[in-house]
Amino acid sequence: MQQAHISALQNKHADIEARITEESQRPRPDEAALARLKKEKLRVKEAIAGLH
């Protein structure tokens, strides 16, 4: 069960990373959105670390 949760978090982390990359490559990136995404990515990373 825990491995499935870790996998789900890892998928979410990868999705957030893709959204950050996509936003960063826009001509005028939304800095507020990038900041939110980066904070969310960090929270997910910390959740993954807490489960290991």
What does pLDDT average to in each consecutive run of 10 residues of the chain (52 residues)? 92 98 97 98 96 86
Tell the residue number behind the tokens 């670390």, with chain if given: 49
Helices marked H in the chain: 2-24, 31-51
Are 9 and 37 contacting, i.e. CB atoms less than 8 angstroms apart? no
CA-CA distance, 49 to 30, in Å (whole number)?
A: 29
Specify the pLDDT at position 44.
98
**pLDDT score at 52:** 82
Cα separation of 44 and 23, whole Å? 19
pLDDT of residue 34: 98
